[in-house]
Amino acid sequence: MNDRDRPHGRELERREAEGPVVVDLHEPIYREMAEPRDGYEPAPSWLVFLCLFIMGFGGWYLGMYSGAFSPKVYNENPAVGVRAAPPAAPKEVDPKVLGRRVFNNCMSCHQQNGQGVPDNYPPLAGSEWANGRADVAAAIVLHGLEGPIEVAGKHFNQVMPSWKHLTDEQLAAVLTYVRSSWGNSGTPVKPALVAAVRKSTGDISRSLRADDLTRLKAGRPLGG
């Protein structure tokens, strides 16, 4: 309390007459700051700014490098210092694997070992048709086959359904599988070849017969 604030004159006389006033006694206490307590000091402003900077930097860093947390991009355990190997080119389905799977369609007649069923279903193993010209084999599978036909020296006269609902890739794969299994030695068949045969024989809407196969081999057009 400095001198100017001290009661003086009448006020001083009045107060002295009244004795100490409670309010006056408390005045100095009010002016004092609360006693500092351990652990409650306000955080220094440099620390506050440091925290803000770290959070800001973290946000910026994630924004720049997190790859939007896409599972294709985000790698939480990158090999430090090792450049990631370039992504492997999408593996082509092995035609033999796909062909083996498509062959499930054929097994009920031609059998798992490609031997067929005597007198009913001709063998694919050792068959001149299965191993012969790829375009003829493709046409058989695309359109089906019926009527008398000789396969590996034996005569058959049954009906084989058309498989044109399968894709070029599936048919090429199953033919490739057939032509390279059970001792067969036909060349692999490409989907493009199946597509070409599908196109050139597209107007046939019946099963092929032995004479169609002869015409195909000679490169002559098939009758309707």
Of the candidates 220, 55, 65, the one whose C-alpha atom is nearest the C-alpha of residue 136 is 220
The reply on whether position 100 binds ligand HEC by CB under 6 A is: no
Supply 89's token pair: 């080119």
Stretch that binds ligand HEC, among 14-22, 74-82, 126-134, 214-222 (CB under 6 A): 126-134
Structure tokens at 101: 């799977």
How far apart are the C-alpha atoms of 121 and 91, rounded to whole Å?
36
| Smallest separation, CB 216 to ligand HEC (Å) | 12
- Lookup result for tokens 């809407």: 205
Question: Taking CB under 6 A as the rule, does residue 172 contact ligand HEC?
Answer: no
127 is a contact residue toward ligand HEC (CB under 6 A)? yes
Amino acid sitting at position 132: G
Q: Does 124 bind ligand HEC (CB under 6 A)?
A: yes
* C-alpha distances out from residue 114 to 86, 97, 177, 219, 220, Å: 42, 16, 11, 28, 30
What sign for the dihedral angle of Cα 202, 204, 208, 210? negative
Tokens of 165: 């609902």
User: Is 180 one of the binding residues for ligand HEC (CB under 6 A)?
Assistant: no
End-to-end CA distance of the chain: 122
Q: Choose one: 44-52, 62-70, 86-94, 121-129; the region binding ligand HEC (CB under 6 A).
A: 121-129
| Stretch binding ligand HEC (CB under 6 A), from 48-56, 83-91, 129-137, 181-189 | 129-137
160 touching ligand HEC, by CB under 6 A: yes
- Supply the minimum distance, in Å, between the C-beta of residue 213 and ligand HEC: 8
- Using CB under 6 A as the binding rule, whether residue 197 contacts ligand HEC is answered as no
Does position 201 interact with ligand HEC (CB under 6 A)? The reply is: no
Where along the sequence are the contacts to ligand HEC (CB under 6 A)?
A: 105-106, 108-110, 121-124, 127, 129-130, 137, 140-141, 145-147, 149, 151, 156-161, 163, 174, 178
